[in-house]
Amino acid sequence: MSKIRAVVFDAYGTLFDVYSVTARAEQLFPGKGETLALLWRERQIDYSRLRSLAAPDGSRYKPFWDITIDALRYAAERLGLPLDEAAEAQLLKEYACLSAFPENLGALKRLRRANLPLGILSNGNPEMLDIAVKSAGMHGLFDHVLSVDPVRQYKTSPAAYALGPQAFNLSAGEILFVSSNCWDACGATWFGYTTFWINRAGHPAERLDVAPTGTGHDMNDLLAFASPLVTATGVAL
Amino acid sequence: MSKIRAVVFDAYGTLFDVYSVTARAEQLFPGKGETLALLWRERQIDYSRLRSLAAPDGSRYKPFWDITIDALRYAAERLGLPLDEAAEAQLLKEYACLSAFPENLGALKRLRRANLPLGILSNGNPEMLDIAVKSAGMHGLFDHVLSVDPVRQYKTSPAAYALGPQAFNLSAGEILFVSSNCWDACGATWFGYTTFWINRAGHPAERLDVAPTGTGHDMNDLLAFASPLVTATGVAL
């Protein structure tokens, strides 16, 4: 297994806890909040993949924030929920300003104290990532906040994953890519990263004939996994 | 709007009615059949897109039948359902041998009587398409049964949609592409086909900044839509 010289994180659901969106949806549409949040998320991901797969040249690309709005409107319409401007604005504000999972800030700071360069590699466009990083109290913790926006291809496109090695000037195997989406960890493994799947929900692994290098329940498990792989600095995690 | 010189159909859910799969799932796992069928279908599509998007060179391609098995096993595991060999075999047999939607055979025969060349363009691999066409009583109705298998890229990849114009030696706009999946009709519209979305479930259109050329509820609506566009033979639909 490669030694690790940097750690790169997926953003939504991995660093940022999207649960508050479901809670707000439930407040607005009692009894339908979870269904709305699930369908919203599903279409958000679907639209990203459909656009990238349909146009390897990026000509169908649309920024993730705009896709997020499209997906919310579809989900509400499909479920017959009266999404007026005020309700939409509340849900989008919730999505824009997420909190960090409770253990994440401490874990990120421990990684930084070990002098490990840190990054984000996200489908999110730069503007939404900037707001999210600040809202979650993570400003200044990352050497690179990478959006797929410049390459106009969403994950699991190789063009998207290539942004990590390019920014850090490392091979993919020297970078530990961390995601709470199993498909994202699998995609990064295909690309060549060393990977860790944070399986917070206890789901089975996706059946894609590839396994993340490591798996655990939260960011503390990530620290335990990463510790023996870190030699860049000699500073213990 | 272009004149139509051929009609090409998506297969699963468009020509072949997949409802019997849900019914069998419900029989095997009472109260969980619909959830299992939905998650199965969701992962089947997810896996096709993830593999194609991750590898424009086709190196992550896996035939659709194998993906269908992977997706079923994932869905059962995720829902905690005891899918033994016998249950899996029953569900797969149901999926392999589907029926046609009730009005489909009559509609296809009317299109053929107008001397319109007909085809299928499907994510399914050739072996599964062959069995499905025969099971549904559609043998001999199609000039081309096209699988994405040779190009190792699933829809909405342009390489997949390009198979239609190549086989029929027509421009995409001269071909009417028909799907009951809105995303598929949208993908084909992006590619340049004239398109028709059979919206059997009455769902809202996907928000992808593109609209199918026409929309209706079933294959009879398709005939009404196609009738004024057909001039190849002068024979009325």
Contact B53 A206 (CB under 8 A): no
pLDDT, one tens digit per residue, over B73-93 is 999 999 999 999 999 999 999
Amino acid at A27: Q
pLDDT at A20: 87
**Residue B96 pLDDT > 70:** yes
> CA-CA distance, A32 to A12, in Å (whole number)?
22
What integer pLDDT is reported at residue A236 of this predicted model?
65
Contacts of A77 in chain B (CB under 8 A): 204
With a cut of 50, list the residues of chain A below it in pLDDT: none
Share of chain B above pLDDT 90, in %: 91
Average pLDDT over residues B99-119: 94
In angstroms, the separation between the Cα of residue A219 and the nearest Cα of chain B is 23
* A221: amino acid identity, one letter: D
Closest CA to A6 of A130, A178, A162, A126: A178
Token digits of residue B212: 């199918």
Question: In chain A, whose CA is at the least distance from the CA of B72?
Answer: A207
pLDDT by residue (tens digit) across A54-113?
999 999 999 999 999 999 999 999 999 999 999 999 999 999 999 899 899 999 999 999
Q: Do B56 and A56 touch (CB under 8 A)?
A: yes
Measure in Å the smallest separation between the Cα of B112 and chain A Cα atoms: 31
Please list every residue in chain B whose beta carbon sits closer than 8 Å to the beta carbon of residue A72. Answer: none
Nearest CB among A73, A78, A187 relative to B54 is that of A187
Tell me if B168 sits within 8 A of B5, measured CB to CB.
yes
Contact B53 A190 (CB under 8 A): no
Q: Are A53 and B49 a contacting pair at CB < 8 A?
A: yes
User: Which tokens go with A93?
Assistant: 């504000």
CB contact under 8 A, B207 and A70: yes
Calculate the average pLDDT of chain B.
95
- B154 to chain A, minimum CA–CA distance in Å? 9
Measured in residues, chain A has a length of 237
Cβ-based contacts under 8 A for chains A and B: 86
> Residue A229: what pLDDT?
86
Which of A22-31, A182-191, B13-22, B206-215 bottoms out in mean pLDDT, i.e. has the lowest?
A: B13-22
> Which residue in B62, B71, B207 is closest to A73 by CB distance?
B207
A17 is catalytic: no
Query: Residue B167 pLDDT more than 90?
Result: yes
Per-residue HEC secondary structure of chain B comes to CCCECEEEECCECCCEECHHHHHHHHHHCCCCHHHHHHHHHHHHHHHHHHHHHHCCCCCCCCCHHHHHHHHHHHHHHHHCCCCCHHHHHHHHHHHHCCEECCCHHHHHHHHHHCCCCEEEEECCCHHHHHHHHHHCCCCCCCCEEEECHHHCCCCCCHHHHCHHHHHHCCCHHHEEEEECCHHHHHHHHHHCCEEEEECCCCCCCCCCCCCCCEEECCHHHHHHHHHHHECCCCCCC
Domains by residue range for chain B, with CATH: 6-16+99-229 (3.40.50.1000), 19-96 (1.10.150.240)
Cβ within 8 Å, pair B54-A191? yes
Amino acid letter, residue B62: K
State the CB neighbour count (10 A cutoff) for residue B104.
24
